[in-house]
Amino acid sequence: MRRALGDGIELDDDAHRIDVAAVHDYLANESYWAKGRPREVVERLVREAQRVVGLYDGQRQVGFARAFTDGVSLVYLADVYVLPEYRGRGLGVELIREIVDNGPYADIRWVLHTRDASGLYHRFEFGEPSPRLMERYRRDA
């Protein structure tokens, strides 16, 4: 799947096109949730995801999202970002639309964690977790 968004910006779900160095650089150095994540871990996560969607300006990787799932009961949405200079012009919405609504898992349950972007996800039918959802935290958290 490739989808042009205008001005040379494009979405693509080809995992081979992901610029792992660029994604690693953002996640390890800029993100609040994956600081210090090693490059080989990012490489493995991209390789093993059921779906990744990249956002590109020409050849430049300017955004990313990753979904992993058993394909039946649950999909987890992770590592969503758009580079700062590309934010605020609707690209995040298109990135989420592509990975959540346009892919093969649109009809099953999705879960994600976010510190402050819940407004973005509300647009795609994400809501507060039900009292039935339980969570076990990392041991080193």
Ligand X SMILES: CC(C)(COP(=O)(O)OP(=O)(O)OC[C@H]1O[C@@H](n2cnc3c(N)ncnc32)[C@H](O)[C@@H]1OP(=O)(O)O)[C@@H](O)C(=O)NCCC(=O)NCCS
- Residues lying near ligand X in the complex (CB under 6 A) are found at 80-82, 87-93, 114, 116-117, 119-120
The closest alpha carbon to 1, from 103, 107, 85, belongs to 103
Strand ranges, E, within the chain: 2-6, 9-12, 51-57, 60-69, 75-82, 110-111
We find the least distance from the C-beta atom of residue 118 to ligand X, in angstroms, to be 6
We find the least distance from the C-beta atom of residue 120 to ligand X, in angstroms, to be 4
- CB nearer to ligand X: pick between 67 and 91: 91
- CB nearer to ligand X: pick between 72 and 116: 116
Alpha carbon 118 to chain centroid, angstroms: 14
We find the least distance from the C-beta atom of residue 131 to ligand X, in angstroms, to be 22
